[in-house]
Structure 1
């Protein structure tokens, strides 16, 4: 008889909270008017917004431990599970690639632009692409390695990435450094992705680039290690909570200490950043687990659980909608045309709020609008699994 999969309501809640926050910070009314905590750090350092993506990858790791824990015990079934993980990871990558190229394809259809040019300048990597790649690699490591080996791989990843970034001279520069344009990760991105396929805002490097995917795998492995502990049935709830708080706080302290030599930096996904963000994620899950799964405060969970059970679906739709609506133009009195979203924002938001508050209220409205859709799906048990 197959052992039923364990499920943590607190994990669904934490995932939903993270995705809702991701949508909030990704969809301000105006990119020129954003409250500081809702912006990324300029380079080194960490704002609340910089914690959202690593939290999600860390949660992916915890989820892997819960979803594949039973399959790990049956080596004969590993090939089937890995194939399923690869399929899921590829779908995630393709969804991200579709978002990246969607605007260019619409320009081909509506403005007659070159299809070849659309593919020549599309960004190859991105958020969903990184999730897909990290998911595949981490799933294989989880299935094929013991817990001790996973921990050793995690430590090795952090150490190797630190050594590469701080000791390897950058070709063309002559010395190792952690600056935007001249660090080793940026050099690799330009060499492998080429400037035409990197993040559009930089043209010379990518915050979800090739080399920085290595420590992103570390973030996921951190989550896997926590998930393995949380699945244990020989440990009581208070011990699990105490352990989570302890490892979380210890990791934060280690991250802050490492920051003195290898700065916390989301764009580079530095090893100190992995420890710092992963530690805060562990503290966050510990708090959610204690309140929801142990103390039974479950009535407060619904608004974010509805986000958590359809996390990838809502993230994809939230990215697709503005891209689609921006191609719908509204005619103005002077004969010019304005994108539908811009027209709606300038008519319904900016006249009633200060610029920065109008931007925030728009983002909140966006999150609430998707909540209505997700709640409808949740009540009808519609869960779209990628």
Structure 2
């Protein structure tokens, strides 16, 4: 294992892989002709794309462990609390700004641009979930220590099941219109602050579903701790793979009574995603640290060194291009797809356009990397 003062190479590659996959999933040329594996499950179920956001939380836990190692070496308790709150607040604000972007919209009646009022801004999002999870898990580890943190996390994971079941509305407490996550979010922040999806205003990163998602962060923390203690050996990788496999089997069985569902982050989904995260990380550690393909993984590591920049760009870059029309009813992104990428067939063309934007974001991150600029909170 590298010295703890240095960056964990495999963590950078793992994080970079998730960022790369996120960009490809979020920026297709045509959402209607996207390969099913690159789309999220509509409600119940699990696709490869569904690993993205829980993997972010898993990475947060990995990074949190190394941060705690540094903080405890310095011996400044006050700095721990200050850093936890500062990072969480900044990340939450960035998440809201990403949702608010581009801050202007066209008035459908007058055709003029107008400022988007905060009353219409989506409050929750993946960055906000990471911020809350980072703060809560960090505080629990610092105040209650690891064993109590693990116990509380397991309680949240188990109790979330009956809370969802008895708190939702009949006949199906797990349905999009009747689940407790939506009920609480509407009560807390109102419908206008939710994600305005075509079917029904709903927030997939709602307040209540934050609590089972803490398990993904704690799992990342425990994984980093385990790797540091056991070093990178084949036995360590076997433990990670076996644990991940058993968790996925458990989730598969649990799915019979509690559907695997990312949007309400059911406990079965949390367990499934933790298992897949463990297996993916074990594979990357083998490739990078055992098979010695670190140089070949440099492409992904560029994303992993500046994940915040890459993610924010993936969420905002195409918005101005969608607003600017090269001709009536045809935005720049639509023009690119129709006139450049669609010639490779609909599905391949949609994928190629996503790769095109992914490479642009990579080049931006590469420039920052060569300058030694790593933008964090």
TM > 0.5 fold call: yes
Report what 1:204 is aligned to.
201
- Any idea what the Cα deviations from partners look like across 1:85-105, whole Å, max 9, x if unmatched? 221122221122112112343
d(CA) in 1 for partners of 2:31 and 2:240?
36
C-alpha displacement of 1:281:
0.7
d(CA) in 2 for partners of 1:107 and 1:383?
35
Change in 2 beyond 3 A, CA 1:328/1:114: closer
Gaps of 5+ in 1: none
d(CA) in 2 for partners of 1:186 and 1:148?
32
Asked if the contact 1:65–1:224 (Cα under 8 Å) also holds between the matched residues in 2, the reply is yes
Q: CA RMSD in A?
A: 2.2
d(CA) in 2 for partners of 1:143 and 1:15?
25
**Pair 1:355-2:352 in alignment:** no
Change in 2 beyond 3 A, CA 1:236/1:353: closer
Report what 1:27 is aligned to.
27
d(CA) in 1 for partners of 2:6 and 2:238?
20
SS of the aligned residue for 1:41 comes to: coil
Report what 2:71 is aligned to.
71
Change in 2 beyond 3 A, CA 1:159/1:36: same
Report what 1:278 is aligned to.
274
Report what 1:99 is aligned to.
98
C-alpha displacement of 1:349:
2.0
C-alpha displacement of 1:311:
0.6
SS of the aligned residue for 1:374 comes to: helix
Report what 1:266 is aligned to.
262
The count of residues paired between Structure 1 and Structure 2 equals 372
**Pair 1:122-2:115 in alignment:** no
d(CA) in 2 for partners of 1:239 and 1:82?
36
Spell out the pairing of 1:144-155 with structure 2 (5 A cutoff): 144-155=143-154
Report what 1:231 is aligned to.
228
Change in 2 beyond 3 A, CA 1:281/1:93: same
- Any idea what the Cα deviations from partners look like across 1:276-315, whole Å, max 9, x if unmatched? 1101111111121122123422122101000000011111
**Pair 1:327-2:302 in alignment:** no
Change in 2 beyond 3 A, CA 1:343/1:175: closer
Gaps of 5+ in 2: none
Spell out the pairing of 1:283-302 with structure 2 (5 A cutoff): 283-302=279-298
Spell out the pairing of 1:1-386 with structure 2 (5 A cutoff): 4-5=4-5, 7-72=7-72, 77-107=76-106, 112=112, 115=115, 118-166=117-165, 168-170=166-168, 173=169, 177-201=173-197, 202-232=199-229, 235=231, 237-330=233-326, 332=327, 336=328, 338-350=330-342, 352-386=343-377
C-alpha displacement of 1:271:
0.7
C-alpha displacement of 1:33:
1.2
d(CA) in 2 for partners of 1:4 and 1:41?
38
C-alpha displacement of 1:229:
1.1
SS of the aligned residue for 1:205 comes to: coil
d(CA) in 1 for partners of 2:6 and 2:225?
11
SS of the aligned residue for 1:209 comes to: coil
- Any idea what the Cα deviations from partners look like across 1:24-64, whole Å, max 9, x if unmatched? 10011111111110111121110000111111111110111
Normalised by the length of structure 2, the TM-score is 0.92
SS of the aligned residue for 1:146 comes to: helix
C-alpha displacement of 1:206:
0.8
